[in-house]
Structure 1
């Protein structure tokens, strides 16, 4: 039993490129003693068992959960094709449209609607808003084809902001392909508007997707490209610097993280533009310390990240429930990194509840990172407590 558990552990560490993957001898012993009624293993363990033994867990006597579908049975190609069609249909309306008069007051109308969408996103999450916001983008695109002069320029600017929001909604929903597509639309419309601030913002948007893809140098390249333009408003520079800090954390450069966050902090008091987009740095309490804490967690600085999250969360309002859930998940991961597993599970309880309510893929991803951080305690009571409280999250994914 000991040898089998060690062999699977070594195999899993190579397969997953994760030195912390481990199957304990007593876990293996429990499996062998529970023929016909074994509990379902964690997803990573299921993948390792299949790759090592050529059998899926249910073929080895484990009891599959309701709705279990083998990965090989997923019709991923069809799903991806349907998603692509739906996404592009919302952004690309072919051919010219009938000419119509476009009142300049529509610019203010769409800007006011945009602010409402930002507030609704914090309360509802992505899934209920994607259709509404992308439909409004379609309308703006239609109006741009008839508008003239400054009205056209104004609609292009607000259209880029709507495209950026749709991209964010897809990113929060976990669809990075659709998010990348809409970030590309944002960049195109920003370029057509000839607004340097909006174009810099579009590059930061692209860098956000690169952050989620774990491409640190890609993040840095895009943010440096944005910061080359000395004309940028302080808000855009703050956004580019904090995003570049995320890129630096992905490549393990703590010095650059602190330098960039500190430089952004020196600019944030000068953010005074009336642009309707990119206002998270003004409306999010402790905005830059949130970024620093996230970067520290990514760098493995558990105790420093845990201390920052404790301060940040005290200032998060109840209306920012989804952001609070993400921060709680990151706080729990930092506690695990600080070797405080019981505290990590206590913090994770509230995050799991919010994840179930909102359906945010970003939150589920953060809780998945927590699960990896908690692997040293996988077979301990605290590890089983975590698995139990995260079960509803996995069922809703």
Structure 2
């Protein structure tokens, strides 16, 4: 990352102070929390590029208000700020900039610690583990998730579910299928107890078949093509077409699982829809999944089905 890119990434988080003091109305906490839910929905429909500027600018405003706020208003704004920083980190991660994502995950943890909220601190650790997953650092993922789970016996079920499913991704990176199933099954037993009204970290409630998505992803990473293929077929039956970015990622993973299961024609059929969504959303995560599909299809590179895939992938620059 060059200096100009670094400044662009950090501009909203590293604003020098102090700033001029101002009155901070407690109602602003609800305002930012309500806006957050709208940003989560927009992310599902739009992908990262159109939202990074908007969400980081709102984080900058929250940071400005924190510097004037006192008492519980300050604590409430710190909690909101941590959630916004986490979303900025996720948007950079989905855009494929892991350096920027790691920076904003660090900002999330700093603000969470300042809020003294154990649930948010756990959430920030899981967010950092998510970046480690994208870096294929299985043991790093496990370390961070275990640290989150060790924070408090009273940790919200939602945070435990998030940590357990992310730890399953770490286990899949280390080749431990038994741990994958045990961790996801434990998370499943906790899922009915998720009943908090916090505005952040609600993917486990908002995403259809949330834990089966994680299991299918882990199975695909473990090379269990037939098991993953069957799970993705079930998941995609319940994912709405409006959740474009998520659906595209799942389709690409499904196609890879089909290829691993020695069903190349099925893989190419699934890839057609995934590529259409990739062009629309420009999600780097989806592009990465399509590269994985291309590698899985190498045994058929010179066959007609392989040439079909090359043609399908050409508009997103992944053809060979």
State the alpha-carbon separation in 2 of the partners of residues 230 and 262 from structure 1.
Answer: 19
Structure-1 residue corresponding to 2:236? 313
* Contact kept? 1:293, 1:305, Cα under 8 Å: yes
State the alpha-carbon separation in 2 of the partners of residues 90 and 105 from structure 1.
Answer: 23
1:226 and 2:148 are equivalent in the alignment: yes
What's the CA shift string for 1:185-223, capped at 9, x where partnerless?
A: 000000000000000000000000000000000000000
What's the CA shift string for 1:120-158, capped at 9, x where partnerless?
A: 000111000000000000000000000000000000000
Equivalent of residue 341 in structure 1, options 240, 248, 264: 264
1:288 and 2:211 are equivalent in the alignment: yes
What's the CA shift string for 1:212-235, capped at 9, x where partnerless?
A: 000000000000000012121000
Question: What SS does the corresponding residue of 1:348 show, helix, strand or coil?
Answer: helix
Structure-2 residue corresponding to 1:88? 10
Larger radius of gyration: 1
Structure-2 residue corresponding to 1:124? 46
Structure-1 residue corresponding to 2:176? 253
Deviation at 1:81, TM superposition (A): 2.3
Unaligned runs of 5+ in 2: none
* Contact kept? 1:258, 1:292, Cα under 8 Å: yes
Q: CA RMSD in A?
A: 1.0
* Contact kept? 2:294, 2:318, Cα under 8 Å: no
State the alpha-carbon separation in 1 of the partners of residues 200 and 217 from structure 2.
Answer: 23
State the alpha-carbon separation in 2 of the partners of residues 254 and 81 from structure 1.
Answer: 42
1:152 and 2:74 are equivalent in the alignment: yes
Deviation at 1:80, TM superposition (A): 2.9
Structure-1 residue corresponding to 2:89? 167
Deviation at 1:395, TM superposition (A): 7.7
Higher relative contact order (CA 8 A, sep 6+): 2
1:212 and 2:118 are equivalent in the alignment: no
* Contact kept? 1:122, 1:321, Cα under 8 Å: yes
Structure-2 residue corresponding to 1:101? 23
Query: TM-score, normalising length from structure 2?
Result: 0.98
Structure-2 residue corresponding to 1:183? 105
Q: 1:345 to 1:275 in 2, by over 3 A?
A: same
Unaligned runs of 5+ in 1: 1-78
Question: What SS does the corresponding residue of 1:339 show, helix, strand or coil?
Answer: coil
Structure-2 residue corresponding to 1:356? 279
* Contact kept? 2:291, 2:318, Cα under 8 Å: no
* Contact kept? 2:310, 2:318, Cα under 8 Å: no
State the alpha-carbon separation in 1 of the partners of residues 153 and 289 from structure 2.
Answer: 35
State the alpha-carbon separation in 1 of the partners of residues 22 and 161 from structure 2.
Answer: 39
Structure-2 residue corresponding to 1:19? none
In the TM superposition, structure 1's runs of 4+ consecutive aligned residues that sit over 6 Å from their partners are none
Equivalent of residue 138 in structure 1, options 60, 80, 93: 60
Deviation at 1:89, TM superposition (A): 1.0
* Contact kept? 1:326, 1:351, Cα under 8 Å: yes
What's the CA shift string for 1:57-81, capped at 9, x where partnerless?
A: xxxxxxxxxxxxxxxxxxxxxx532
1:372 and 2:286 are equivalent in the alignment: no
State the alpha-carbon separation in 1 of the partners of residues 95 and 301 from structure 2.
Answer: 28
State the alpha-carbon separation in 2 of the partners of residues 288 and 389 from structure 1.
Answer: 30
